[in-house]
């Protein structure tokens, strides 16, 4: 079974964070590639654990996936943007 996901990577306090969307799984590494590899492993473990508990379909559906034959397709991202707003104190 194949499950697609999108990864965002950013630097925070000297380490790189990778976040898999829409699964909401994150991990970190010493480099962008290290963070990507760590989040790939975290996603595999997350999906394996959900499958072992019999909740994989529910977890994926809750995350916005839909099943197409033997694949789970995530949302079609329109963009990933960095935005800001003025906080009112």
Q: Are 35 and 18 in contact (CB under 8 A)?
A: yes
Among 15, 19, 9, 45, which residue's Cα sits nearest to residue 29?
15
What tens digit of pLDDT does each residue of 15-35 get?
Answer: 999 999 999 999 999 999 999
**Would the CA dihedral through 30, 17, 35, 55 be positive or negative?**
positive
Question: By percentage, how much of the chain surpasses pLDDT 70?
Answer: 99
DSSP reduced 3-state for 31: coil
Global pTM reads 0.84
45 has pLDDT over 90: yes
Is residue 68 very low, low, confident or very high in pLDDT (cuts 50, 70, 90)? confident
């Amino acid at each position: 079974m194949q499950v697609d996901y999108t990864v965002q990577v950013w630097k925070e306090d000297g380490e790189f964070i990778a976040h898999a969307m829409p699964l909401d799984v994150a991990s970190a590494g010493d480099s962008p590639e290290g963070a990507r590899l760590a989040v790939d492993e975290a996603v595999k473990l997350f999906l394996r654990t959900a499958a072992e508990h019999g909740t994989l379909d529910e977890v994926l559906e809750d995350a916005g996936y839909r099943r197409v034959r033997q694949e789970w397709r995530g949302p079609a991202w329109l963009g990933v943007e960095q935005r800001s707003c003025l906080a009112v104190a």
